[in-house]
Amino acid sequence: MRVIVENDYQSMSRKAALLLASQVNLKPNSVLGLATGSTPEGMYQELVKMYHRGEIDFSEVVTFNLDEYYKLPPENEESYHYYMHENFFKHVNLHPENTNIPRGMVEKVETECWYYEEKIRRAGGIDLQVLGIGSNGHIGFNEPGDRLNVTTKLVELTEETIESNSRFFDSLDKVPRKAISVGMATILKARRIILLASGKNKAEAIKKTINGYVDTRIPSSLLQTHPETTLIIDEEAASLL
């Protein structure tokens, strides 16, 4: 596991964008695994700037997002469909048919989960997976527990995650309690992984990700088993290392 410590959020975002751009420039038809949340917003802004400067072309890129809330319509401003469209997709030349996000409104959720995995497989697997991290060590919505999902599944969010994500919703009871999330093996099968973290509230999780045992109660610790993982973190997130 490689760890890059940047001074602040801005330089963390820029570094992440540079690594992602290198991937796309080396392999224009890359399959990217994408994350939502406040952490990657700066990276998306940097990528949009690079696109406008002609430094990156997304016309052949295929993307798969990590997760989506269950039963939150895509037009809801807190859905990850909306987030991706507003923060990234609408600003660059990705073909809409090449962007994939689990569909939280489906009736047959097991079929959707199976189909999502199958689409990733048919695309040739993920070349570069971008991850954020929860303060509880979750990646995607793989929450700490005695067991972790291998593949894409409907998951129950922990109280900690619901509480943390309530900052985006009008009230706590508006936060969906379930989500569709890709599983741990789906993430670990990516050829390269970059994990972004910023701020003191991520420092404990980062310490356990790097120095702790591999433990299902810290899902991010499983990244220790992956041969090509790079953590890009700011000084605050690195403060307990």
Give catalytic residue positions. 67, 136, 138, 143
Distance between CA atoms of 5 and 15, rounded to whole angstroms? 10
Total residues at the site for ligand PGA (CB under 6 A)? 7
Q: Strand, helix or coil at 103?
A: coil
- Minimum CB separation from ligand PGA for residue 172, in Å? 16
Give every CB contact of residue 200 below 8 A, 6+ residues apart in sequence.
236, 237, 239
Residue 158 contacts residue 136 (beta carbons within 8 Å): yes
Residues 34 and 20 sit within 8 Å (Cβ to Cβ): no
- Nearest residue to ligand PGA, using CB? 37
Q: Does 152 bind ligand PGA (CB under 6 A)?
A: no
Distance CA(127)–CA(124), nearest Å, equals 8
In 3D, which of 180, 31, 192 has the Cα closest to residue 114? 180
Does residue 144 bind ligand PGA (CB under 6 A)? no
Binding mask 124-143 for ligand PGA (x = CB under 6 A): --------xxx---x-----
Q: Which of 133, 141, 111 is nearest to 40 (CA)?
A: 133
Instruction: Kindly tell me which of 77 and 110 has the beta carbon lying closer to ligand PGA.
Output: 77
Q: Is 38 near ligand PGA (CB under 6 A)?
A: yes
**Minimum distance from CB of 144 to ligand PGA (Å)?**
12
Which parts of 35-191 are beta strand (E)?
62-65, 67-69, 99-100, 128-131, 153-156, 178-181
Interface with ligand PGA by CB under 6 A: which range of 36-44, 100-108, 143-151, 233-241?
36-44
Interface pick for ligand PGA out of 13, 23, 30, 39 (rule CB under 6 A): 39
- Residue 168 CB, nearest distance to ligand PGA (Å)? 8
Contacts for 161 with CB less than 8 Å, ≥ 6 apart: 134, 136, 138, 141, 143
Stretch that binds ligand PGA, among 17-25, 33-41, 81-89, 145-153 (CB under 6 A): 33-41
- Contact between 225 and ligand PGA per CB under 6 A: no
Q: If binding is defined by CB under 6 A, does position 37 make contact with ligand PGA?
A: yes
Distance CA 117, CA 102 (A): 10
Residue placing its CB nearer to ligand PGA in the complex, 33 or 134? 134
Shortest Cβ distance from residue 113 to ligand PGA (Å)? 19
Residues that bind ligand PGA (CB under 6 A): 37-39, 132-134, 138
